[in-house]
Structure 1
Amino acid sequence: MSNANAPRGIVVLTGAGVSAESGLGTFRDVDGIWTKYPLEDLATPEGFARNPDFVQGFYNDRRAQLKTSEPNAAHVALARLEAALQAAGRRFTLVTQNVDHLHETAGSQNVLHMHGELLKVRCQACGSVVRWPDDLTSKTHCPVCEATGLMRPHVVWFGEMPLYMDEIEVELSRADLFVSIGTSGNVYPAAGFVQLARRAGARTLELNLEPSDGATFFDEARYGKASDVVPGWANDIMKWL
Protein backbone atom coordinates (compact mmCIF):
# COMPACT_ATOMS: atom_id res chain seq x y z
CA MET A 1 0.00 0.00 0.00
CA SER A 2 1.38 3.40 -0.95
CA ASN A 3 0.47 6.79 0.48
CA ALA A 4 -1.70 7.42 -2.57
CA ASN A 5 -3.94 4.42 -1.97
CA ALA A 6 -3.97 4.44 1.83
CA PRO A 7 -7.57 4.66 3.11
CA ARG A 8 -9.06 8.13 2.69
CA GLY A 9 -11.95 7.39 5.03
CA ILE A 10 -12.18 4.74 7.74
CA VAL A 11 -15.21 3.76 9.80
CA VAL A 12 -14.45 1.62 12.85
CA LEU A 13 -17.14 -0.22 14.81
CA THR A 14 -16.20 -1.38 18.30
CA GLY A 15 -18.02 -3.77 20.59
CA ALA A 16 -17.67 -5.20 24.07
CA GLY A 17 -14.51 -7.11 23.17
CA VAL A 18 -12.57 -3.85 23.08
CA SER A 19 -13.41 -2.98 26.69
CA ALA A 20 -13.33 -6.52 28.09
CA GLU A 21 -9.58 -6.27 28.73
CA SER A 22 -10.24 -3.17 30.81
CA GLY A 23 -12.34 -5.28 33.18
CA LEU A 24 -15.80 -4.40 31.87
CA GLY A 25 -18.12 -7.37 31.57
CA THR A 26 -19.98 -8.42 28.43
CA PHE A 27 -23.35 -10.06 27.83
CA ARG A 28 -21.55 -13.27 26.89
CA ASP A 29 -19.43 -13.63 30.03
CA VAL A 30 -20.19 -16.93 31.78
CA ASP A 31 -21.36 -16.13 35.32
CA GLY A 32 -20.83 -12.43 34.59
CA ILE A 33 -22.86 -9.60 36.07
CA TRP A 34 -25.26 -9.56 33.09
CA THR A 35 -26.17 -13.24 33.64
CA LYS A 36 -27.33 -12.81 37.25
CA TYR A 37 -30.70 -11.29 36.30
CA PRO A 38 -32.98 -11.59 33.27
CA LEU A 39 -32.10 -8.97 30.66
CA GLU A 40 -35.77 -8.04 30.37
CA ASP A 41 -35.55 -6.81 33.97
CA LEU A 42 -32.36 -4.81 33.42
CA ALA A 43 -32.35 -3.55 29.87
CA THR A 44 -35.89 -2.86 28.69
CA PRO A 45 -38.25 0.10 29.18
CA GLU A 46 -40.78 -2.36 30.62
CA GLY A 47 -38.33 -3.61 33.23
CA PHE A 48 -37.54 -0.04 34.24
CA ALA A 49 -41.25 0.78 34.55
CA ARG A 50 -41.81 -2.28 36.77
CA ASN A 51 -38.92 -1.71 39.14
CA PRO A 52 -37.07 1.57 38.57
CA ASP A 53 -35.08 1.43 41.80
CA PHE A 54 -33.71 -2.02 40.97
CA VAL A 55 -32.64 -0.88 37.49
CA GLN A 56 -31.16 2.37 38.82
CA GLY A 57 -29.14 0.41 41.38
CA PHE A 58 -27.75 -1.90 38.73
CA TYR A 59 -26.61 0.97 36.53
CA ASN A 60 -25.28 2.88 39.53
CA ASP A 61 -22.98 -0.09 40.15
CA ARG A 62 -21.89 -0.13 36.48
CA ARG A 63 -21.24 3.62 36.65
CA ALA A 64 -19.12 3.19 39.77
CA GLN A 65 -17.14 0.44 38.05
CA LEU A 66 -16.12 2.88 35.33
CA LYS A 67 -14.28 4.99 37.90
CA THR A 68 -11.69 2.23 38.32
CA SER A 69 -11.47 1.20 34.66
CA GLU A 70 -8.69 2.40 32.38
CA PRO A 71 -8.29 2.32 28.58
CA ASN A 72 -6.26 -0.57 27.24
CA ALA A 73 -3.85 -0.72 24.31
CA ALA A 74 -6.70 -1.08 21.80
CA HIS A 75 -8.36 2.16 22.93
CA VAL A 76 -5.03 3.99 22.84
CA ALA A 77 -4.16 2.68 19.37
CA LEU A 78 -7.48 3.86 17.93
CA ALA A 79 -6.99 7.33 19.41
CA ARG A 80 -3.48 7.54 17.93
CA LEU A 81 -4.75 6.38 14.55
CA GLU A 82 -7.51 8.99 14.54
CA ALA A 83 -5.02 11.76 15.28
CA ALA A 84 -2.65 10.54 12.55
CA LEU A 85 -5.42 10.29 9.95
CA GLN A 86 -6.75 13.74 10.77
CA ALA A 87 -3.25 15.19 10.47
CA ALA A 88 -3.01 13.58 7.04
CA GLY A 89 -6.37 15.04 5.96
CA ARG A 90 -8.23 11.74 6.06
CA ARG A 91 -11.57 10.86 7.65
CA PHE A 92 -11.98 8.66 10.71
CA THR A 93 -15.25 7.83 12.44
CA LEU A 94 -15.45 5.63 15.50
CA VAL A 95 -18.85 4.04 16.10
CA THR A 96 -19.12 2.15 19.36
CA GLN A 97 -21.72 -0.17 20.83
CA ASN A 98 -20.10 0.35 24.22
CA VAL A 99 -21.64 2.68 26.78
CA ASP A 100 -18.36 3.29 28.63
CA HIS A 101 -16.14 6.35 28.15
CA LEU A 102 -12.83 4.56 27.58
CA HIS A 103 -12.44 5.65 23.95
CA GLU A 104 -12.70 9.29 25.00
CA THR A 105 -10.41 8.76 27.98
CA ALA A 106 -7.80 7.36 25.60
CA GLY A 107 -8.07 10.48 23.43
CA SER A 108 -10.59 9.62 20.70
CA GLN A 109 -12.51 12.66 19.46
CA ASN A 110 -15.04 11.62 16.82
CA VAL A 111 -17.03 8.95 18.70
CA LEU A 112 -20.64 8.00 18.02
CA HIS A 113 -22.15 6.06 20.93
CA MET A 114 -24.96 4.25 19.15
CA HIS A 115 -26.12 2.55 22.37
CA GLY A 116 -25.83 5.63 24.57
CA GLU A 117 -23.46 6.57 27.37
CA LEU A 118 -23.45 5.32 30.94
CA LEU A 119 -22.07 8.61 32.28
CA LYS A 120 -25.10 10.50 30.96
CA VAL A 121 -28.74 10.44 32.05
CA ARG A 122 -31.93 11.42 30.27
CA CYS A 123 -35.09 13.03 31.59
CA GLN A 124 -38.26 11.31 30.38
CA ALA A 125 -40.23 14.52 31.00
CA CYS A 126 -38.27 17.10 29.01
CA GLY A 127 -35.85 14.89 27.04
CA SER A 128 -32.73 16.64 28.34
CA VAL A 129 -29.50 14.63 28.34
CA VAL A 130 -26.89 15.63 30.92
CA ARG A 131 -23.58 14.25 32.12
CA TRP A 132 -24.07 12.30 35.35
CA PRO A 133 -21.15 10.42 36.96
CA ASP A 134 -22.93 9.78 40.26
CA ASP A 135 -25.83 7.64 41.49
CA LEU A 136 -29.34 8.04 40.18
CA THR A 137 -32.52 7.20 42.13
CA SER A 138 -36.27 7.42 41.68
CA LYS A 139 -36.14 10.63 43.75
CA THR A 140 -33.56 12.42 41.58
CA HIS A 141 -34.66 15.80 40.24
CA CYS A 142 -34.02 16.72 36.60
CA PRO A 143 -31.49 19.58 36.65
CA VAL A 144 -33.28 21.17 33.67
CA CYS A 145 -37.02 20.90 34.28
CA GLU A 146 -37.00 19.85 37.98
CA ALA A 147 -39.27 16.84 37.37
CA THR A 148 -38.83 14.12 40.00
CA GLY A 149 -38.55 10.40 39.37
CA LEU A 150 -38.27 10.60 35.59
CA MET A 151 -34.50 10.39 35.15
CA ARG A 152 -33.10 7.24 33.53
CA PRO A 153 -29.73 6.00 32.25
CA HIS A 154 -28.95 7.39 28.81
CA VAL A 155 -28.49 3.92 27.34
CA VAL A 156 -30.37 2.19 24.54
CA TRP A 157 -32.35 -0.72 25.88
CA PHE A 158 -33.75 -3.66 23.94
CA GLY A 159 -36.67 -2.52 21.81
CA GLU A 160 -35.36 1.06 21.51
CA MET A 161 -33.83 2.70 18.43
CA PRO A 162 -30.03 3.08 18.44
CA LEU A 163 -28.66 6.61 18.28
CA TYR A 164 -26.92 8.46 15.40
CA MET A 165 -28.13 6.04 12.74
CA ASP A 166 -28.41 8.73 10.05
CA GLU A 167 -24.85 9.93 10.69
CA ILE A 168 -23.52 6.37 10.75
CA GLU A 169 -25.12 5.50 7.43
CA VAL A 170 -23.64 8.62 5.82
CA GLU A 171 -20.15 7.73 7.05
CA LEU A 172 -20.50 4.12 5.88
CA SER A 173 -21.58 5.31 2.44
CA ARG A 174 -18.38 7.29 1.91
CA ALA A 175 -15.81 5.09 3.70
CA ASP A 176 -13.31 3.06 1.73
CA LEU A 177 -12.44 0.87 4.72
CA PHE A 178 -14.79 -0.53 7.36
CA VAL A 179 -13.28 -2.25 10.41
CA SER A 180 -15.25 -4.20 13.00
CA ILE A 181 -13.48 -4.77 16.31
CA GLY A 182 -14.49 -6.92 19.25
CA THR A 183 -18.10 -7.58 18.35
CA SER A 184 -20.06 -10.82 18.02
CA GLY A 185 -21.79 -9.77 14.82
CA ASN A 186 -25.24 -10.90 15.95
CA VAL A 187 -26.81 -7.68 17.22
CA TYR A 188 -28.57 -5.55 14.62
CA PRO A 189 -28.42 -2.96 13.24
CA ALA A 190 -24.66 -2.92 13.95
CA ALA A 191 -24.26 -6.43 12.54
CA GLY A 192 -25.47 -5.12 9.18
CA PHE A 193 -22.92 -2.31 8.90
CA VAL A 194 -20.42 -4.53 7.09
CA GLN A 195 -22.93 -5.21 4.33
CA LEU A 196 -23.79 -1.51 3.99
CA ALA A 197 -20.10 -0.71 3.70
CA ARG A 198 -19.54 -3.44 1.10
CA ARG A 199 -22.42 -2.16 -1.03
CA ALA A 200 -20.80 1.29 -0.94
CA GLY A 201 -17.55 -0.20 -2.24
CA ALA A 202 -15.51 -0.26 0.97
CA ARG A 203 -12.98 -2.90 1.89
CA THR A 204 -13.88 -4.69 5.11
CA LEU A 205 -11.74 -6.02 7.95
CA GLU A 206 -12.61 -7.95 11.10
CA LEU A 207 -10.42 -7.71 14.21
CA ASN A 208 -11.78 -10.07 16.82
CA LEU A 209 -10.94 -12.71 19.39
CA GLU A 210 -12.58 -15.29 17.12
CA PRO A 211 -14.65 -15.26 13.90
CA SER A 212 -17.93 -13.42 14.42
CA ASP A 213 -21.33 -14.55 13.19
CA GLY A 214 -20.81 -12.32 10.14
CA ALA A 215 -17.20 -13.28 9.46
CA THR A 216 -17.91 -14.34 5.86
CA PHE A 217 -18.80 -10.74 4.93
CA PHE A 218 -15.28 -9.47 5.62
CA ASP A 219 -12.51 -9.30 3.03
CA GLU A 220 -9.80 -9.77 5.64
CA ALA A 221 -9.53 -10.77 9.30
CA ARG A 222 -7.04 -10.80 12.14
CA TYR A 223 -7.83 -12.78 15.26
CA GLY A 224 -6.49 -12.39 18.79
CA LYS A 225 -6.87 -10.13 21.81
CA ALA A 226 -7.89 -6.60 20.96
CA SER A 227 -4.87 -5.22 22.82
CA ASP A 228 -2.66 -7.16 20.39
CA VAL A 229 -4.37 -7.02 17.00
CA VAL A 230 -5.66 -3.44 17.09
CA PRO A 231 -2.27 -1.75 17.73
CA GLY A 232 -0.67 -3.93 15.07
CA TRP A 233 -3.29 -2.99 12.48
CA ALA A 234 -3.20 0.70 13.43
CA ASN A 235 0.57 0.77 13.07
CA ASP A 236 0.27 -0.79 9.61
CA ILE A 237 -2.10 2.00 8.51
CA MET A 238 0.04 4.77 9.98
CA LYS A 239 3.15 3.53 8.15
CA TRP A 240 1.55 4.59 4.87
CA LEU A 241 0.34 8.04 5.87
Structure 2
Amino acid sequence: MRFQRLVILTGAGISAESGIPTFRDPGGLWERYSLEEVATPEGFRRNPRLVHEFYNARRRDLLRVRPNPAHRALAELERRFPGEVLLVTQNVDDLHERAGSKRVLHIHGELLKVRCEACGGIFREEGEVFPETPCPACGKTGGLRPHVVWFGEEPFYLPEVYEALLSCDLFVAIGTSGTVWPAAGFVEVARRAGAHCVEINLKPAENAHLFQEHRYGPASREVPKWVEEILREGR
Protein backbone atom coordinates (compact mmCIF):
# COMPACT_ATOMS: atom_id res chain seq x y z
CA MET A 1 0.00 0.00 0.00
CA ARG A 2 1.37 3.41 -0.98
CA PHE A 3 0.75 6.40 1.25
CA GLN A 4 0.89 10.06 0.33
CA ARG A 5 0.25 12.02 3.52
CA LEU A 6 1.86 10.92 6.79
CA VAL A 7 1.32 12.30 10.29
CA ILE A 8 3.75 10.96 12.89
CA LEU A 9 3.21 11.53 16.61
CA THR A 10 6.18 10.99 18.92
CA GLY A 11 6.28 10.79 22.70
CA ALA A 12 8.79 10.32 25.48
CA GLY A 13 9.59 6.76 24.43
CA ILE A 14 11.51 7.86 21.35
CA SER A 15 13.89 10.04 23.36
CA ALA A 16 14.31 7.69 26.32
CA GLU A 17 17.02 5.75 24.48
CA SER A 18 18.98 8.99 24.14
CA GLY A 19 19.06 9.27 27.92
CA ILE A 20 16.17 11.66 28.48
CA PRO A 21 14.03 10.39 31.38
CA THR A 22 10.33 9.80 30.82
CA PHE A 23 7.71 11.20 33.17
CA ARG A 24 5.43 8.29 34.04
CA ASP A 25 7.60 5.17 33.88
CA PRO A 26 9.18 3.74 37.07
CA GLY A 27 12.00 6.06 38.06
CA GLY A 28 10.56 8.82 35.87
CA LEU A 29 10.50 12.52 36.64
CA TRP A 30 7.15 12.47 38.43
CA GLU A 31 8.54 10.06 41.03
CA ARG A 32 11.23 12.63 41.85
CA TYR A 33 9.32 15.88 41.51
CA SER A 34 5.84 17.09 42.32
CA LEU A 35 4.13 18.08 39.10
CA GLU A 36 2.03 20.60 41.04
CA GLU A 37 5.25 22.39 42.03
CA VAL A 38 7.16 22.45 38.73
CA ALA A 39 4.64 21.90 35.92
CA THR A 40 1.64 24.11 36.63
CA PRO A 41 1.03 27.86 36.33
CA GLU A 42 0.08 27.89 40.02
CA GLY A 43 3.37 26.27 41.00
CA PHE A 44 5.26 28.85 38.98
CA ARG A 45 3.44 31.71 40.69
CA ARG A 46 4.15 30.21 44.12
CA ASN A 47 7.84 29.50 43.59
CA PRO A 48 9.28 30.68 40.27
CA ARG A 49 12.85 30.05 41.42
CA LEU A 50 12.17 26.35 42.02
CA VAL A 51 10.53 26.01 38.60
CA HIS A 52 13.41 27.77 36.86
CA GLU A 53 15.93 25.57 38.67
CA PHE A 54 14.03 22.45 37.52
CA TYR A 55 14.07 23.57 33.88
CA ASN A 56 17.66 24.82 34.08
CA ALA A 57 18.68 21.29 35.10
CA ARG A 58 16.63 19.69 32.36
CA ARG A 59 18.17 22.09 29.83
CA ARG A 60 21.67 21.09 30.92
CA ASP A 61 20.75 17.41 30.63
CA LEU A 62 19.31 17.89 27.16
CA LEU A 63 22.46 19.54 25.85
CA ARG A 64 24.48 16.47 26.89
CA VAL A 65 22.52 13.90 24.86
CA ARG A 66 22.28 13.10 21.17
CA PRO A 67 19.63 11.93 18.72
CA ASN A 68 19.33 8.16 18.41
CA PRO A 69 18.69 5.99 15.33
CA ALA A 70 14.91 6.50 15.63
CA HIS A 71 15.27 10.30 15.39
CA ARG A 72 17.66 9.96 12.47
CA ALA A 73 15.37 7.52 10.64
CA LEU A 74 12.43 9.94 10.82
CA ALA A 75 14.63 12.74 9.46
CA GLU A 76 15.64 10.43 6.60
CA LEU A 77 11.97 9.64 5.96
CA GLU A 78 11.19 13.35 5.66
CA ARG A 79 14.07 13.85 3.21
CA ARG A 80 13.28 10.89 0.97
CA PHE A 81 9.52 10.31 1.15
CA PRO A 82 7.79 11.40 -2.09
CA GLY A 83 4.67 12.65 -0.28
CA GLU A 84 3.99 14.83 2.77
CA VAL A 85 5.39 14.11 6.24
CA LEU A 86 4.34 16.07 9.34
CA LEU A 87 6.07 15.27 12.62
CA VAL A 88 4.02 16.15 15.71
CA THR A 89 5.88 15.67 18.97
CA GLN A 90 4.85 15.77 22.61
CA ASN A 91 8.53 16.06 23.51
CA VAL A 92 10.07 19.37 24.51
CA ASP A 93 13.58 18.30 23.48
CA ASP A 94 15.14 19.29 20.15
CA LEU A 95 16.44 15.86 19.15
CA HIS A 96 14.24 15.65 16.06
CA GLU A 97 15.69 18.93 14.77
CA ARG A 98 19.24 17.92 15.63
CA ALA A 99 18.70 14.71 13.68
CA GLY A 100 17.66 16.76 10.65
CA SER A 101 13.85 16.92 10.74
CA LYS A 102 12.50 20.21 9.42
CA ARG A 103 8.70 20.02 9.65
CA VAL A 104 8.14 19.55 13.38
CA LEU A 105 5.28 20.81 15.56
CA HIS A 106 6.07 20.84 19.30
CA ILE A 107 2.60 20.72 20.80
CA HIS A 108 3.96 20.82 24.36
CA GLY A 109 6.52 23.53 23.72
CA GLU A 110 10.30 23.58 23.60
CA LEU A 111 12.75 23.29 26.47
CA LEU A 112 15.39 25.43 24.78
CA LYS A 113 13.05 28.42 24.55
CA VAL A 114 11.66 30.89 27.08
CA ARG A 115 8.67 33.19 26.76
CA CYS A 116 8.10 36.63 28.25
CA GLU A 117 4.69 36.99 29.85
CA ALA A 118 5.01 40.76 29.65
CA CYS A 119 5.68 41.28 25.94
CA GLY A 120 4.98 37.81 24.52
CA GLY A 121 8.44 37.42 23.00
CA ILE A 122 9.83 33.91 22.54
CA PHE A 123 13.61 33.41 22.71
CA ARG A 124 16.03 30.51 22.36
CA GLU A 125 17.79 29.82 25.63
CA GLU A 126 20.49 27.21 26.28
CA GLY A 127 21.72 28.63 29.57
CA GLU A 128 20.18 29.32 32.95
CA VAL A 129 17.18 31.53 33.68
CA PHE A 130 16.16 32.97 37.05
CA PRO A 131 13.33 35.23 38.28
CA GLU A 132 15.66 38.23 38.02
CA THR A 133 16.73 37.47 34.43
CA PRO A 134 15.58 40.36 32.19
CA CYS A 135 13.63 39.79 29.00
CA PRO A 136 15.94 40.21 25.96
CA ALA A 137 13.27 42.31 24.23
CA CYS A 138 11.44 44.45 26.79
CA GLY A 139 13.94 44.27 29.65
CA LYS A 140 11.33 43.34 32.27
CA THR A 141 12.44 41.05 35.08
CA GLY A 142 10.23 38.34 36.52
CA GLY A 143 8.35 37.82 33.26
CA LEU A 144 10.33 35.00 31.68
CA ARG A 145 8.95 31.45 31.90
CA PRO A 146 9.82 28.17 30.19
CA HIS A 147 8.17 27.92 26.76
CA VAL A 148 6.51 24.64 27.66
CA VAL A 149 2.88 23.65 28.11
CA TRP A 150 2.07 22.97 31.75
CA PHE A 151 -0.83 21.00 33.16
CA GLY A 152 -4.01 23.00 32.71
CA GLU A 153 -2.70 24.83 29.62
CA GLU A 154 -3.74 24.17 26.02
CA PRO A 155 -1.19 22.56 23.70
CA PHE A 156 0.20 24.53 20.78
CA TYR A 157 -0.64 24.07 17.07
CA LEU A 158 -3.85 22.06 17.56
CA PRO A 159 -5.67 23.56 14.54
CA GLU A 160 -2.75 22.63 12.27
CA VAL A 161 -2.55 19.14 13.77
CA TYR A 162 -6.26 18.40 13.36
CA GLU A 163 -6.22 19.69 9.80
CA ALA A 164 -3.36 17.30 8.99
CA LEU A 165 -5.06 14.38 10.77
CA LEU A 166 -8.23 14.84 8.74
CA SER A 167 -6.33 14.64 5.46
CA CYS A 168 -3.64 12.02 6.20
CA ASP A 169 -3.74 8.45 4.93
CA LEU A 170 -1.19 7.10 7.45
CA PHE A 171 -0.97 7.97 11.15
CA VAL A 172 1.87 6.59 13.27
CA ALA A 173 2.34 6.96 17.03
CA ILE A 174 5.85 6.28 18.32
CA GLY A 175 6.81 5.98 21.98
CA THR A 176 3.55 7.33 23.39
CA SER A 177 1.66 6.21 26.48
CA GLY A 178 -1.80 6.85 25.05
CA THR A 179 -2.82 8.60 28.29
CA VAL A 180 -2.06 12.29 27.63
CA TRP A 181 -4.87 14.26 26.01
CA PRO A 182 -5.54 15.54 23.48
CA ALA A 183 -2.71 13.60 21.81
CA ALA A 184 -4.19 10.27 22.95
CA GLY A 185 -7.23 11.05 20.79
CA PHE A 186 -5.32 11.82 17.58
CA VAL A 187 -5.56 8.19 16.45
CA GLU A 188 -9.37 8.30 16.61
CA VAL A 189 -9.48 11.44 14.47
CA ALA A 190 -7.13 9.95 11.87
CA ARG A 191 -8.91 6.61 11.82
CA ARG A 192 -12.33 8.20 11.34
CA ALA A 193 -10.84 10.11 8.40
CA GLY A 194 -9.81 6.80 6.82
CA ALA A 195 -6.11 6.68 7.73
CA HIS A 196 -4.20 3.47 8.41
CA CYS A 197 -2.94 3.73 12.02
CA VAL A 198 0.30 2.20 13.27
CA GLU A 199 1.61 1.97 16.83
CA ILE A 200 5.37 1.63 17.39
CA ASN A 201 6.08 1.23 21.07
CA LEU A 202 8.11 -0.59 23.66
CA LYS A 203 4.85 -2.02 24.99
CA PRO A 204 1.15 -1.50 24.14
CA ALA A 205 -0.17 1.97 24.94
CA GLU A 206 -3.43 2.55 26.77
CA ASN A 207 -5.12 3.22 23.42
CA ALA A 208 -3.41 0.38 21.53
CA HIS A 209 -6.75 -1.16 20.55
CA LEU A 210 -7.44 1.81 18.26
CA PHE A 211 -4.52 1.00 15.94
CA GLN A 212 -4.72 -1.47 13.07
CA GLU A 213 -1.01 -2.30 13.14
CA HIS A 214 1.38 -2.77 16.06
CA ARG A 215 5.16 -3.04 16.28
CA TYR A 216 6.74 -3.52 19.68
CA GLY A 217 10.36 -3.14 20.67
CA PRO A 218 12.97 -0.40 21.19
CA ALA A 219 12.32 2.65 19.02
CA SER A 220 15.94 2.67 17.85
CA ARG A 221 15.33 -0.74 16.27
CA GLU A 222 11.70 -0.64 15.19
CA VAL A 223 11.51 2.88 13.72
CA PRO A 224 14.41 2.46 11.24
CA LYS A 225 12.92 -0.87 10.11
CA TRP A 226 9.51 0.70 9.55
CA VAL A 227 10.98 3.72 7.75
CA GLU A 228 12.89 1.51 5.36
CA GLU A 229 9.70 -0.39 4.54
CA ILE A 230 7.76 2.82 3.88
CA LEU A 231 10.50 4.21 1.65
CA ARG A 232 10.74 0.94 -0.24
CA GLU A 233 6.97 0.92 -0.86
CA GLY A 234 7.06 4.56 -1.97
CA ARG A 235 9.61 4.04 -4.69
- TM-score range with shorter-chain normalisation? over 0.9
Q: Runs of at least 4 residues of structure 1 off by over 2 A?
A: 29-34
User: Within the alignment, does 1:23 sit opposite 2:19 as a pair?
Assistant: yes
Which of 145, 160, 167 is the matching residue for 2:160? 167
Q: CA deviation at 1:179?
A: 0.1
Separation in 2, partners of 1:30, 1:223 = 19
Look up the match of 1:62: 58
Look up the match of 1:179: 172
Look up the SS of the partner of 2:64 in the other structure.
coil
Q: CA deviation at 1:38?
A: 1.1
Q: CA deviation at 1:237?
A: 0.4
Runs of 5+ in structure 1 lacking a partner? none
Separation in 1, partners of 2:37, 2:154 = 18
Look up the match of 1:40: 36
Q: CA deviation at 1:93?
A: 0.1
The percent of aligned pairs where both chains have the same amino acid is 56
Q: If the length of structure 2 is used for normalisation, what is the TM-score?
A: 0.98
Separation in 1, partners of 2:185, 2:57 = 31
Q: CA deviation at 1:213?
A: 0.4
Q: CA deviation at 1:53?
A: 0.3
Look up the match of 2:136: 143
Report 1:39-118 matches (<5 A): 39-85=35-81, 88=82, 90-118=83-111
Separation in 1, partners of 2:39, 2:31 = 12
Separation in 2, partners of 1:207, 1:111 = 19
Look up the SS of the partner of 1:206 in the other structure.
strand
Separation in 2, partners of 1:37, 1:152 = 18
Look up the SS of the partner of 1:119 in the other structure.
strand
Q: What number of residue pairs does the alignment pair up?
A: 234
User: Within the alignment, does 1:228 sit opposite 2:221 as a pair?
Assistant: yes
User: Within the alignment, does 1:191 sit opposite 2:184 as a pair?
Assistant: yes
Q: CA deviation at 1:33?
A: 3.6
**Aligned CA-pair RMSD:** 0.8
Look up the SS of the partner of 1:67 in the other structure.
helix
Q: Deviations over 1:121-177 (max 9, x none)?
A: 000101111111110000111111111111000000000000000000011011000
Amino acid at match of 2:189: L
Separation in 2, partners of 1:170, 1:34 = 32
Q: CA deviation at 1:220?
A: 0.5
Q: If the length of structure 1 is used for normalisation, what is the TM-score?
A: 0.96
Q: CA deviation at 1:236?
A: 0.1
Look up the match of 1:212: 205
Amino acid at match of 2:58: R
Q: Deviations over 1:99-133 (max 9, x none)?
A: 00000000000000000000000001011111111
Amino acid at match of 2:148: V
